[in-house]
Structure 1
Amino acid sequence: MRNALLLCFLSLLCTCVSAQTIELTGRVVEGSGQPVEFATVKVIEPDGGNMITGTTTDTDGRFKLAAPRPDVQLEISFLGFAPVLIEDIEGTDLNNIVMRPDGETLDEVIVTSERSTTEFKLDKRVFNVGKDLSSAGASALEVLNNVPSVTVTIEGQINLRGSGGVQILIDGKPSVLANDGGNALGTITADMIESVEVITNPSAKYEAEGTAGIINIVMKKDERKGTNGSVTLNTGIPNNHSLGLSLNRRTTKFNLFSQLGVGYRTFPEEYEGINRDLTSGTTVNSSGESDKNENFYNLILGTDYHINDLNVLTLSGNFAYEIEEENADTDFMVLDNAGNLTDAWRRTESTEAVNPKWQYELNYKRQFDAADKDHALIISALGRSFVKDQSSEFTTNTSEGTARFGDQRTSTDFGETNYTFKADYTRPVNEMVTIETGLQYVYSDVGNDFETSNLVGTEFVPDADLTNRFEYDQGVLGAYATTAYEGVRWGVKAGLRVEQTELNTLLVNTGETNDQSFVDFFPSLHSSYKISEAASIQAGYSRRIFRPRLWDLNPFFNIRDNFNVRAGNPDLQPEYTDSYEVTAILIVGQLSLNAGVYHRYTTDVVERVSFFEDNVNVTTPINLGSSSSNGVELNGKFRPAKWMTLSGDFNFNYFDRTAELDGVSYDFTADQLNGRLVSKFELPMDIDLELAGNLRSGYETVQGRVTGYTFADLGIRKKVLKGKMVLNMSVRDLFASRIRESIANQPTFYVYDYSQRGRFVTLGLSYGFGKGEAMEFSGQKRH
Structure 2
Amino acid sequence: MKRTEIVSIFQKRAFGLALTIGAASFVMAQQKVNISGNVKDANGGVGYSSVTFKNTQNSQLSDAVLADVDGNYKLDLAPGNYDVSIEAVDYKKFTQTIRVEKAGAIAPFVITSDGKANLNNTTNIQGVVITAATTKPYKVELDKKTYDPSQDLVSKGGSLQDVLQNVPSVSVDTDGTVSMRGSSNVRFLINGKPSALLGIDDGANALQSIPADQIEKIEVITNPSSKFEASGTAGILNIILKKNKKTGFNGSVIGTLGYLPQTNLNTSLSWRKGKFSWFLNGGGGYRESKNTNRNTNIYNDVTIVGNQLESRQNSEITNKNSNYNATAGIVYDINDKTSVNASGTVRTFESDNVGNIDYNFSLLNAPSTYTLRRNIGTNNNLAFQGDFGLDHKFDDKGQNLSLSLSLQRNRSNNDTNILEYENFNPATSLENIINQKTKNQNIVAKLDYELPIGEISKLEAGYRLDSNDNSYDNNVLEGTSAQNLALLPLYTYDANYKELFNAFYLQFKSKIGKIGYQVGLRNELSNVTIDYQNLLTPGSAGYTPPIVNDKKTYNNLFPSIFLSYEFAKDNQLLVNYSRRIDRPRGFFLIPNPSYSDNQNIFDGNIDLNPAYVDSFEVGYSISKKKFTINPTLYYKRKTDDTKMLVYNKAIEYKYLDDAGIEQTGKRIEFHTRPINLGSEETYGLDLNFNWDATSWLKFMGNVDVFGYNIKGSTLYDTLDQDLNDIVRTANFNGTGVSTRSRLTSTFKLDKTLNFQVQGFFRGATKTEFQHRKEMYAINFGASKTIWSGNGTIAFNIQDVFNTRAMQATTYTANSTRDTYMQWQPRQFTVSLTYRFKQGEKVDQPKRKKDINSNATGGDEQGPI
TM-score under structure 1 length normalisation? 0.80
2:641 is aligned with 1:605: yes
The answer for the alignment partner of 2:521 in structure 1 is 496
Q: Output aligned runs, 1:118-197, within 5 Å.
A: 122-124=142-144, 149=168, 165=186, 167=188, 170=191, 180=207, 183=210, 186-187=213-214
The answer for the alignment partner of 1:714 in structure 2 is 780
**In structure 2, do the counterparts of structure 1 residues 401 and 726 end up closer, same or farther at CA, with 3 Å as the change threshold?**
closer
Aligned partner of residue 634 in structure 2, secondary structure: strand
Report the alpha carbon displacement of residue 672 of structure 1 after superposing the two structures with TM.
2.9
**In structure 2, do the counterparts of structure 1 residues 641 and 42 end up closer, same or farther at CA, with 3 Å as the change threshold?**
same
Aligned partner of residue 66 in structure 1, secondary structure: coil
Q: Distance in 1 between matches of 2:603 and 2:195?
A: 33
Aligned partner of residue 111 in structure 2, secondary structure: coil
Q: Which moved more, 1:375-384 or 1:598-607?
A: 375-384
Quick check: 1:356–1:386 contact (8 Å CA) kept in 2? yes
Q: Which has the higher contact order (CA 8 A, sep 6+)?
A: 2
Report the alpha carbon displacement of residue 747 of structure 1 after superposing the two structures with TM.
4.1
Which deviations, in whole Å up to 9, do the C-alpha atoms of 1:399-439 show, x marking residues without a partner?
Answer: 26999971111111111122111111111111122111111
The answer for the alignment partner of 2:742 in structure 1 is 676
Q: Distance in 1 between matches of 2:831 and 2:293?
A: 30
Selected match of 1:633 from 677, 680, 686:
686
Quick check: 2:47–2:67 contact (8 Å CA) kept in 1? no
**In structure 2, do the counterparts of structure 1 residues 260 and 348 end up closer, same or farther at CA, with 3 Å as the change threshold?**
same
Q: Distance in 2 between matches of 1:29 and 1:610?
A: 63
Q: Distance in 2 between matches of 1:262 and 1:182?
A: 8
2:310 is aligned with 1:283: yes
Quick check: 2:85–2:95 contact (8 Å CA) kept in 1? no
2:255 is aligned with 1:233: yes
Selected match of 1:406 from 430, 433, 444:
430
The answer for the alignment partner of 1:516 in structure 2 is 552
Which deviations, in whole Å up to 9, do the C-alpha atoms of 1:264-286 show, x marking residues without a partner?
Answer: 11111111112333211532211
Quick check: 2:514–2:565 contact (8 Å CA) kept in 1? yes
2:446 is aligned with 1:422: yes
Selected match of 2:388 from 336, 345, 362:
362
Report the alpha carbon displacement of residue 455 of structure 1 after superposing the two structures with TM.
2.5
Which deviations, in whole Å up to 9, do the C-alpha atoms of 1:36-68 show, x marking residues without a partner?
Answer: 9x99684555663179xxxxxxxxx9997515x
Which deviations, in whole Å up to 9, do the C-alpha atoms of 1:280-317 show, x marking residues without a partner?
Answer: 15322111211011111111111222222222222111
Unaligned runs of 5+ in 2: 1-41, 76-83, 99-104, 117-131, 199-205, 303-307, 535-544, 651-667, 717-728, 841-864
Report the alpha carbon displacement of residue 93 of structure 1 after superposing the two structures with TM.
9.2
Q: Distance in 2 between matches of 1:329 and 1:132?
A: 40
The answer for the alignment partner of 2:488 in structure 1 is 463
The answer for the alignment partner of 2:600 in structure 1 is 564
Q: Distance in 1 between matches of 2:647 and 2:171?
A: 38
Report the alpha carbon displacement of residue 742 of structure 1 after superposing the two structures with TM.
2.5
Q: Distance in 1 between matches of 2:183 and 2:751?
A: 34
Q: Output aligned runs, 1:331-730, within 5 Å.
A: 331-337=358-364, 341-369=367-395, 371-372=396-397, 374-399=398-423, 406-456=430-480, 458-509=483-534, 510-513=545-548, 514-614=550-650, 615-662=668-715, 664=729, 666-684=732-750, 686-701=752-767, 703-730=769-796
2:321 is aligned with 1:294: yes
Q: Distance in 2 between matches of 1:588 and 1:44?
A: 22
Q: Distance in 1 between matches of 2:808 and 2:242?
A: 47
Q: Distance in 1 between matches of 2:177 and 2:273?
A: 31
Report the alpha carbon displacement of residue 29 of structure 1 after superposing the two structures with TM.
9.8
Q: Distance in 1 between matches of 2:490 and 2:443?
A: 34
**In structure 2, do the counterparts of structure 1 residues 158 and 376 end up closer, same or farther at CA, with 3 Å as the change threshold?**
farther
The answer for the alignment partner of 2:807 in structure 1 is 741
Report the alpha carbon displacement of residue 198 of structure 1 after superposing the two structures with TM.
5.3
Aligned partner of residue 89 in structure 2, secondary structure: strand
May I ask how many residue pairs the two structures share in their alignment? 704
The answer for the alignment partner of 1:309 in structure 2 is 336
Quick check: 1:222–1:252 contact (8 Å CA) kept in 2? no
Report the alpha carbon displacement of residue 209 of structure 1 after superposing the two structures with TM.
0.5
Quick check: 1:712–1:734 contact (8 Å CA) kept in 2? yes
**Which residue identity is paired with 2:833?**
S
**In structure 2, do the counterparts of structure 1 residues 152 and 399 end up closer, same or farther at CA, with 3 Å as the change threshold?**
closer
Aligned partner of residue 722 in structure 1, secondary structure: helix
The answer for the alignment partner of 2:350 in structure 1 is 323
Q: Distance in 2 between matches of 1:699 and 1:729?
A: 34
Quick check: 2:392–2:400 contact (8 Å CA) kept in 1? yes
**Which residue identity is paired with 1:759?**
R
Q: Distance in 2 between matches of 1:85 and 1:553?
A: 68
Q: Distance in 2 between matches of 1:704 and 1:728?
A: 41
**In structure 2, do the counterparts of structure 1 residues 198 and 755 end up closer, same or farther at CA, with 3 Å as the change threshold?**
closer
Which deviations, in whole Å up to 9, do the C-alpha atoms of 1:691-721 show, x marking residues without a partner?
Answer: 1100112223452222220011111111111
Aligned partner of residue 556 in structure 1, secondary structure: coil
Quick check: 1:330–1:346 contact (8 Å CA) kept in 2? yes
Which deviations, in whole Å up to 9, do the C-alpha atoms of 1:580-624 show, x marking residues without a partner?
Answer: 010001235512111111110100000111011223110000001
Q: Distance in 2 between matches of 1:217 and 1:92?
A: 47
The answer for the alignment partner of 1:90 in structure 2 is 112
Which deviations, in whole Å up to 9, do the C-alpha atoms of 1:239-260 show, x marking residues without a partner?
Answer: 2111112211122212211122
The answer for the alignment partner of 1:8 in structure 2 is none
2:862 is aligned with 1:762: no
Aligned partner of residue 628 in structure 1, secondary structure: strand
**Which residue identity is paired with 1:473?**
K
Which deviations, in whole Å up to 9, do the C-alpha atoms of 1:307-366 show, x marking residues without a partner?
Answer: 22222222111111122111011111111136x643212111111222111112112111
Q: Distance in 2 between matches of 1:352 and 1:266?
A: 14
Quick check: 1:729–1:762 contact (8 Å CA) kept in 2? yes
Report the alpha carbon displacement of residue 25 of structure 1 after superposing the two structures with TM.
12
Q: Distance in 2 between matches of 1:180 and 1:90?
A: 55
Report the alpha carbon displacement of residue 235 of structure 1 after superposing the two structures with TM.
1.1
Quick check: 1:282–1:335 contact (8 Å CA) kept in 2? yes
Q: Distance in 2 between matches of 1:296 and 1:261?
A: 8
Aligned partner of residue 270 in structure 2, secondary structure: strand
**In structure 2, do the counterparts of structure 1 residues 488 and 199 end up closer, same or farther at CA, with 3 Å as the change threshold?**
farther
**In structure 2, do the counterparts of structure 1 residues 393 and 222 end up closer, same or farther at CA, with 3 Å as the change threshold?**
closer
Selected match of 1:207 from 206, 209, 229:
229
**In structure 2, do the counterparts of structure 1 residues 221 and 572 end up closer, same or farther at CA, with 3 Å as the change threshold?**
closer
The answer for the alignment partner of 1:97 in structure 2 is none
**In structure 2, do the counterparts of structure 1 residues 410 and 609 end up closer, same or farther at CA, with 3 Å as the change threshold?**
same
Q: Distance in 1 between matches of 2:54 and 2:769?
A: 71
Q: Distance in 2 between matches of 1:642 and 1:19?
A: 36
2:321 is aligned with 1:268: no
Quick check: 1:44–1:74 contact (8 Å CA) kept in 2? no
Q: Distance in 2 between matches of 1:693 and 1:534?
A: 28
Report the alpha carbon displacement of residue 578 of structure 1 after superposing the two structures with TM.
0.3
Aligned partner of residue 72 in structure 2, secondary structure: coil
Q: Output aligned runs, 1:57-76, within 5 Å.
A: 65-66=88-89
Which deviations, in whole Å up to 9, do the C-alpha atoms of 1:87-139 show, x marking residues without a partner?
Answer: 11134399xxxxxxxxxxxxxxxxx9997699875534679x9x999xxx999
**Which residue identity is paired with 1:245?**
T
Quick check: 2:157–2:831 contact (8 Å CA) kept in 1? no
TM-score under structure 2 length normalisation? 0.73
